[in-house]
Structure 1
């Protein structure tokens, strides 16, 4: 019986149902509370754009909710684990299962199986919904909640729209709020060109609502040029800047890892490597696309300390706090390792997977030492 992790189908379904209901309840509660707080800070900016109203606020909520759900799903699994196990312990159901001959791993097996399913669903949700919401929301925010460029509209992934473009052409700088299209059909909006001296001092600033490829360079439409030395403003009919900035370079520079799917990001990494660019940050995020959703699988193991030990011993609350501390410690270490991997402090694979493997061993050790 000790080698059979699911000795009872009825018990497995019972525990899995309890766990799923609590995960959904906690997740909905967290998303609603955090979304309400987020709307309090963003509603003013949304309504400041001409023509925006309630529909745009609801649109923002529909784009922000998937981001919050993806971010806080592991936290929901952790809290649901503690709630489920503490309730089972208080009702002496864990004692009954142990008396029937179940080991600690057999008690946790239905929760681990449910968490594995949640991890798989989370990965699919991130790939199909969250990446598209990221791309669309960033493009909308870059347009200051105004209309997104027409070339970017259509697909749920904002059909190639990218935001916050920043490029250097020698000493000069080209920045754009959004980019739409691809190749020679690229359209930049909210463009600013900074012409600098070899010492890095800005001598001229040019602003334009729109720029297109001029082969070579980028043609600024209705530019407003400001000469810093003479404090003179000029409005030429048109202007071409950035002749060394090719469409291929702009497309390569403007990649947003959070707005690309797992497979698209892999292709972008290959393109960066072919161009001789550093890929540590992108590769760390690529690996984290796998290890991130799997963090839900760790939560039942880290929170299992709350399941065992007699409730009447008075230590149940302390055990729940220990389980919560272990879970939140994982998130702190995971974020720190990912940040270290992004700027080359850790190898990308280690940055993404070391926290998961470390806390897998910690959770298993705590479970064995306290119960088995």
Structure 2
């Protein structure tokens, strides 16, 4: 098989791509299945206590699946690549390809397109599918909660206003213990509104009930008469309150950019949002690094076979890469590192390390 021929290159690219894709899909399905079982072991009792039955269990599993798949994708690529390369090495396929003139980095080049397809699919999953599914899951879970008063309170910024919500119910359509602090352009407090509850309808928008208000003028405060009902001039929808009530919900890039520009309410720091956005679009690069980490598997000695420790070392290195990325990201979320430092250095360090290992094996 000559590498100069376009047909063999096309056939080889298709063969390697399909081999990698099938193994990654298989590993992803297994990992997601295990994670679903663990999640259902924890949530089945609350679901049944809400009288949602088997349909509730299936609904929970379906809406949770995209989030679990997004989290399992890096490990699926690592294990899938290790399985493929180990099988090809032990079956002497790598030796045949080398005899035909294919180098190690030539093999890596053939695997890049499939890895990029998986990476960009992961970007779409993180950016579009997971935020919607988690939003639907949170709204469903809130709507079916028989004791929403046990939900936690939260703060958020909405333009020149700061608001505090006691808890949400009815899938975000009802709010309880609403406090709104209205500021002027310079940030000075102008008015405080306290409502016992608020509800949303498509015709009237948000309506505050049993409202007490205080106006602030310099050092003078004035308590105004209570109002039974008052319209709330806000563009927020119920699903946005569900998002704000969650700890760290997955966000689309459009939502993140809206928060960074001040067009959407937020209760997270700009550094957290910027790091999340940068990490999301570096997902294909992360998968390419994991593929590079798995590549030394092709150097398994023929006599060693399945007793070789090379795949184990590669798996450990890949897991270390994933852990280091997670630690740096956590430091970025906490504001200890700039977003770029929290996402890029791990890619560079592990890429250089993997290339060093490959060059050392090539010169033996």
Q: Where on the TM-score scale, by shorter chain, does this alignment land: which range?
A: 0.7 to 0.9
Q: Whole-Å Cα distance in 2 between the matches of residues 3 and 136 of structure 1?
A: 52
Cα distance, 1:219 vs. partner? Answer: 3.3
Partner of 2:139: 139
2:291 aligned with 1:300? yes
1:168 and 1:71 map into 2 onto residues whose CA distance is 27
3-state DSSP of counterpart to 2:309: helix
Q: For 1:167 and 1:290, locate their aligned partners in 2 and report how far apart those are by CA, in whole Å.
A: 29
- Change over 3 Å in CA distance of 1:10–1:144 after alignment to 2: same
Residues 73, 249 of structure 1: alpha-carbon distance in 2 compared, 3 angstrom cutoff: closer
TM-superposed deviation, 1:192: 4.2
The correspondence for 1:219, drawn from 208, 217, 234, is 208
Q: How does 1:142-291 map to 2 (within 5 A)?
A: 142-145=142-145, 166-167=154-155, 174-177=165-168, 189=174, 191-192=176-177, 210-211=198-199, 219-220=208-209, 247=234, 254=244, 258-271=249-262, 278-291=269-282
Quick one: structure 1 residues 272 and 357, their matched pair in 2 at CA, closer, same or farther if it must change by over 3 Å? farther
CA RMSD after TM alignment: 4.2
- Three-state SS of the structure 2 residue aligned to 1:328 is helix
Which whole-Å CA distance do the structure 2 matches of 1:68 and 1:308 have between them? 33
Give the distance between the partners of 1:172 and 1:271, measured in 2 at CA: 15
What residue is the counterpart of 1:89 in the other structure?
Answer: 89
How far off its partner does 1:282 sit?
1.1
Query: C-alpha displacement at 1:166, in angstroms?
Result: 0.7
Residue number in structure 1 paired with 2:343 = 352
Please give the secondary structure, in 2, of the residue aligned with 1:175. strand
1:120-160 per-position Cα deviation (integer Å, ceiling 9, x unaligned): 11112222311101111223333455799xxxxxxxxxxxx
Aligned to 1:12: 13
Going from structure 1 to structure 2, the CA distance change for 1:273 and 1:40 (only over 3 Å counts) comes to closer
Conserved in 1, the CA contact under 8 Å of 2:197 and 2:208?
A: no
Please give the alpha-carbon distance, in whole angstroms, between the structure 2 residues aligned to 1:27 and 1:84.
Answer: 14
Measure, in 2, the Cα distance between the counterparts of 1:258 and 1:5.
Answer: 47
2:39 aligned partner: 38
Q: What SS does the corresponding residue of 1:310 show, helix, strand or coil?
A: coil
Deviation at 1:47, TM superposition (A): 1.8
Partner of 2:216: none
Deviation at 1:351, TM superposition (A): 1.0
Per mean C-alpha deviation after superposition, the further-off stretch among 332-341 and 169-178 is 169-178
Cα distance per residue 1:154-185 (max 9 Å; x no partner): xxxxxxxxx965128999953223597xxxxx
Does structure 1 residue 102 correspond to structure 2 residue 102? yes
Cα deviation 1:281-309 (Å, max 9, x = unaligned): 11111111112354222221111111114
Matched, 1:70 2:70: yes
| Structure 1: 5+ residue stretches without partners | 149-162, 181-186, 195-205, 222-236
Distance 1:16 1:171, change over 3 A: closer
Which structure 2 segments of 5+ residues have no match? 180-193, 211-225
1:87 CA displacement: 0.7
Q: State the match for 2:186 in structure 1.
A: none
Residue equivalent to 1:23: 24
TM-score, with structure 1 as normaliser: 0.72
User: Which of the residues 324, 329, 336 maps onto 2:320?
Assistant: 329
The SS at the match of 2:303 is: helix
**Cα shift readout 1:6-47 (whole Å, capped 9, x = no counterpart):** 972222222212111111111111111221221121111112
Q: 1:62 deviation in Å?
A: 0.8
Paired residues of 2:116 and 2:284 also in contact (CA < 8 A) = no
For 1:91 and 1:14, the matched residues in 2 are separated by 15
Relative to the length of structure 2, the TM-score reads 0.74
Query: Structure 1 residues 191, 305: closer, same or farther in 2, change over 3 A?
Result: same
Q: Is the 8 A contact 2:21 2:114 kept in 1?
A: yes
Q: CA deviation at 1:75?
A: 0.6
